[in-house]
Amino acid sequence: MTTRTEITELTNVEADLVTHIARGHDFPQIAREMGITVYAARLISRDLFERLGARNAAHAIGIVVGLGLIPADVATSSTTQTGGHDVR
Protein backbone atom coordinates (compact mmCIF):
# COMPACT_ATOMS: atom_id res chain seq x y z
CA MET A 1 0.00 0.00 0.00
CA THR A 2 1.27 3.46 -0.89
CA THR A 3 1.50 5.91 1.98
CA ARG A 4 -0.03 9.25 1.16
CA THR A 5 2.31 12.21 1.43
CA GLU A 6 0.94 15.39 2.89
CA ILE A 7 -0.88 16.99 -0.03
CA THR A 8 -1.77 20.64 0.46
CA GLU A 9 -2.48 21.68 -3.11
CA LEU A 10 -2.93 20.38 -6.63
CA THR A 11 -1.34 21.77 -9.75
CA ASN A 12 -3.76 23.49 -12.13
CA VAL A 13 -3.55 20.48 -14.46
CA GLU A 14 -4.23 18.03 -11.62
CA ALA A 15 -7.17 20.09 -10.36
CA ASP A 16 -8.61 20.31 -13.88
CA LEU A 17 -8.19 16.57 -14.44
CA VAL A 18 -9.68 15.54 -11.10
CA THR A 19 -12.63 17.90 -11.67
CA HIS A 20 -13.33 16.19 -15.00
CA ILE A 21 -13.09 12.78 -13.32
CA ALA A 22 -15.47 13.94 -10.57
CA ARG A 23 -17.95 14.96 -13.26
CA GLY A 24 -17.84 11.45 -14.71
CA HIS A 25 -15.86 12.23 -17.85
CA ASP A 26 -13.85 9.44 -19.45
CA PHE A 27 -10.21 9.81 -20.51
CA PRO A 28 -10.91 10.57 -24.21
CA GLN A 29 -13.31 13.35 -23.17
CA ILE A 30 -10.87 14.66 -20.55
CA ALA A 31 -8.07 14.69 -23.11
CA ARG A 32 -10.18 16.65 -25.62
CA GLU A 33 -11.30 19.18 -23.01
CA MET A 34 -7.77 19.68 -21.65
CA GLY A 35 -6.03 19.66 -25.04
CA ILE A 36 -3.77 16.74 -24.13
CA THR A 37 -3.44 13.14 -25.26
CA VAL A 38 -5.37 10.30 -23.64
CA TYR A 39 -2.01 8.84 -22.63
CA ALA A 40 -1.07 12.10 -20.85
CA ALA A 41 -4.43 12.21 -19.04
CA ARG A 42 -3.95 8.63 -17.83
CA LEU A 43 -0.35 9.34 -16.78
CA ILE A 44 -1.31 12.47 -14.83
CA SER A 45 -4.13 10.62 -13.09
CA ARG A 46 -1.93 7.62 -12.27
CA ASP A 47 0.76 9.85 -10.77
CA LEU A 48 -1.81 11.87 -8.81
CA PHE A 49 -3.59 8.76 -7.50
CA GLU A 50 -0.25 7.35 -6.39
CA ARG A 51 0.69 10.62 -4.66
CA LEU A 52 -2.70 10.66 -2.92
CA GLY A 53 -2.49 6.98 -1.98
CA ALA A 54 -5.80 6.46 -3.80
CA ARG A 55 -6.90 3.00 -4.89
CA ASN A 56 -9.10 4.29 -7.73
CA ALA A 57 -10.78 7.40 -9.12
CA ALA A 58 -13.62 7.41 -6.58
CA HIS A 59 -11.12 7.15 -3.74
CA ALA A 60 -9.05 10.00 -5.24
CA ILE A 61 -12.13 12.24 -5.45
CA GLY A 62 -12.98 11.49 -1.83
CA ILE A 63 -9.46 12.36 -0.76
CA VAL A 64 -9.24 15.66 -2.65
CA VAL A 65 -12.70 16.74 -1.52
CA GLY A 66 -11.88 15.73 2.06
CA LEU A 67 -8.69 17.78 1.93
CA GLY A 68 -10.62 20.75 0.51
CA LEU A 69 -8.57 20.75 -2.71
CA ILE A 70 -11.69 20.83 -4.89
CA PRO A 71 -15.15 21.98 -3.83
CA ALA A 72 -17.52 19.20 -2.76
CA ASP A 73 -20.21 20.50 -5.12
CA VAL A 74 -18.00 19.60 -8.09
CA ALA A 75 -18.08 15.95 -7.05
CA THR A 76 -21.74 15.91 -6.04
CA SER A 77 -23.19 17.83 -8.97
CA SER A 78 -26.41 16.20 -10.16
CA THR A 79 -25.86 17.39 -13.72
CA THR A 80 -23.27 15.81 -15.99
CA GLN A 81 -22.62 16.95 -19.54
CA THR A 82 -22.71 13.97 -21.87
CA GLY A 83 -22.66 14.43 -25.60
CA GLY A 84 -24.25 17.85 -25.34
CA HIS A 85 -27.23 16.63 -23.29
CA ASP A 86 -27.84 17.21 -19.61
CA VAL A 87 -28.31 13.97 -17.72
CA ARG A 88 -30.06 14.12 -14.36
CATH of domain 12-76: 1.10.10.10
Residue 49 has pLDDT above 90, yes or no: yes
Which pLDDT score is estimated for 7?
79
Q: Taking the CA atoms of the chain, what radius of gyration do you get in angstroms?
A: 13
The domain segmentation of the chain, as residue ranges, is 12-76
In contact, 57 and 13? CB cutoff 8 Å: no
> What pLDDT shows up at residue 77?
63
Which pTM was predicted? Answer: 0.75
Reported confidence tier of residue 26, pLDDT bands at 50, 70, 90: very high
